[in-house]
Structure 1
Amino acid sequence: MNKTQIDMNKIPNHVAIIMDGNGRWAKSKFMPRIAGHKQGMENVKNITEIASDLGVKILTLYAFSTENWKRPEKEVKYLMSLPTKFFNEFVPNLIKNNVKVQTIGDIASLPIKTKDAVNQAIEDTKECDGMVLNFALNYGSRSEIVKATKGIVQSISSGELESEDINEDTFSKYLTTSKFNDFADPDLLIRTSGEKRLSNFMLWQVAYSEFLFFDKMWPDVTKDDFKDMIITYQNRHRRFGGLNNK
């Protein structure tokens, strides 16, 4: 394989991105933090398009964490308004490119207008069978794991499940990503802005993902940057704990 060109036969099935750096991007340009979030959401369109064009099956974007509620009220209110603006503008393009919108996280607890916009986008794109654009909204991995554990306990209590049947596969089926079946776990996890932490994102699912920490702030990430990250991924050797030297 040419190590400077994308191998279209080795595109990662599931790419997950922690879109970090919006606020710092805005601050560096002497703009309010919300301007960074606006530009960051605009860049979602670019990266969605290139990921779909390359054949990625699932693109998961960490849009709002359960911890983000701690931010200033004005910023949170603006972040909650972004899905409405984004989907109003972008859903026709998603349908045109056969991209389906999905989510993970506690959508039910979002403000009504935000929840309605998200659910409408899911409904509008439900017939699409190309790439899944999966937003992690009001999502926290520890909360997801606790909820899965409670689900298993309830299944045992009701007699639907025996404790002896609990294994990694069983547990995975109680996570919100189970709907993605064989592609539930990201092949590649990207975090922008140079920070090197997971921030409570898909802790179970990224056990064997390739990590790529990218120095650019999210609003500055280009389609060519994304291609370069895919090439970097393809030049790594994934062993999943084994010693396969192929």
Structure 2
Amino acid sequence: MLLFNQEKLLKQVDDENERIMAANILDKAEQTLRSHEPVFSNFLNPYQRSLVEPVLDKIHDLKYRSYGAFKKAERKILALAPDYYMWELLTEPLVILEIKGNFKFENVNHRDFLGAILGTGIKRELIGDLLVADDGCQVIVLAEIKEYLLLNLERVHKVPVEIEEISAERLSLPTQRVKKIKSTVASLRLDSVASSGFATSRTKMAREIEAGKVKLNWQQETDPAQKIDLTDVISIRGRGRVEIDEILGESKKGRIKLVTKRYL
């Protein structure tokens, strides 16, 4: 006997890939309610969590929490449990691995480390955030793949590496730099707001959007005319994120006065 109507809960999810992802989470919700034990998802990005969490909120007798090894992690897993379960009993299935090598003469970045990990055959959904430093990278992963990576990840960008598990206290969390920008835009279109926040021309930004280089709420968006709300997040890999901080009304020429925040 089903504990809830999965099809009814998924009505609001239109995209096929998103439905598959959400259905997988609902399967885990059913599993935890039947087993009376906590169940964990793979890593989800903020957009995926924004789709799944309102669905989970509709299931009686269920509760959930997100974990990413540190508070501001972008990619997190969901822990699902019956509503009477005590979170204090939960052991997070996450480990932090530190990858080190002689990168002094190599220009390695986030993509290089992620590519090396994926090159071992590991799927992206088993990997959380990567914190890249000059001498290596710290990566959050599901505990189930720790031993596999320790055995199989030997090089990053042709550089031999050593890997060890570290504690959360040794995480080198990046300092978040925020730049506020006052400007005026003709409208709250994606190309207008993004060009203001990333300090580039609207024409150039429109081309980048159409080329698939810009994400809106962690999803690729190719329509420059897409409307932007106060809660939306615009991101470009390697260039940070932009959000609207404040709308100050209209200028004398009828343009929208805007304050954007750019996280560097």
Classify the TM-score, shorter chain: under 0.3
Which has the greater radius of gyration? 2
User: Greater share of helix residues, 1 or 2?
Assistant: 1
Whose relative contact order is higher, 1 or 2, with alpha carbons under 8 Å and at least 6 apart?
1
Q: TM-score, normalised by structure 2?
A: 0.26
User: Greater share of strand residues, 1 or 2?
Assistant: 2
